[in-house]
Amino acid sequence: MFSIDRAARADLEGILALANWAADNTTANFATSPESLDDWTASYDGTHQRYPWLVARESDRIVGFAKASPHRARGAYAWTAEVSVYVHPESHRRGVGRALYARLIPTLRDQGYVTLLAGITTSNPVSQRLHEVAGFVRCGTLRRAGWKFGQWHDVGWWELQLRDGAPKPLRCVADVWLDASSP
């Protein structure tokens, strides 16, 4: 069985290994060469207090991660976050992605986020189904958004509306996180 925890800086090497595997082997990640630990550390350091980073852990091994990040820098976008989830290929179809989103989405809602966005290549029906199960709906498509593996790939945009009305002040992850570790 696996547990879901907030990611720590020490988890970044395992997280990056999953992201780089996806970049090398799939169109789920549009990186075309391995990304560096320094870049991921800078991203984590700059975002993890306001945007959750989660890991799915089985024993001491990271079998998946999910994270949120800013959608755009301008102020009006403050209540919108982009989300992503990656699962180790050996752990597919075990509920890891669903468990990660079952913790990530309520955390973002409790923080005060209003809209979540996910960009998914149209050739990735498994990710599309995961997002549908989590309540996302497709809201658009960017045609020929990325060139990888010798061909163009479209990216579908998926959204999840968390609340209506005027936004509330955003809270830090630590202010809303509960330490329940079961999926």
Specify the CATH number for the domain of residue 99: 3.40.630.30
Reported as a single tens digit per residue, the pLDDT across 103-160 is 999 999 999 999 999 999 999 999 999 999 999 999 999 999 999 999 999 999 999 9
Residue 63 lies in a domain: yes
The mean pLDDT value for 82-107 works out to 95
Q: Is the pLDDT of residue 7 over 50?
A: yes
Residue 123 lies in a domain: yes
Residue 62 lies in a domain: yes
Distance between CA atoms of residues 171 and 50, nearest Å: 7
Q: Which residues pair with 156 in a beta bridge?
A: 120, 141
Reported as a single tens digit per residue, the pLDDT across 37-66 is 999 999 999 999 999 999 999 998 999 999
pLDDT (0 to 100) of residue 143: 97
Distance between CA atoms of residues 115 and 81, nearest Å: 7
Q: Which residues pair with 11 in a beta bridge?
A: none
Domain count, the chain: 1
Residue 100 lies in a domain: yes
Share of the chain above pLDDT 90, in %: 92
Residue 181 lies in a domain: no
Domain ranges, residue 74 = 3-176
How many residues belong to the chain?
A: 183
Q: Is 71 exposed, middle or buried (0-12, 13-18, 19+ CB in 10 A)?
A: middle
Q: What is the pTM of this model?
A: 0.94
Distance between CA atoms of residues 62 and 7, nearest Å: 10
Residue 183 lies in a domain: no
Share of the chain above pLDDT 70, in %: 97
Residue 52 lies in a domain: yes
Residue 98 lies in a domain: yes
pLDDT band at 34 (very low <50, low <70, confident <90, very high): very high
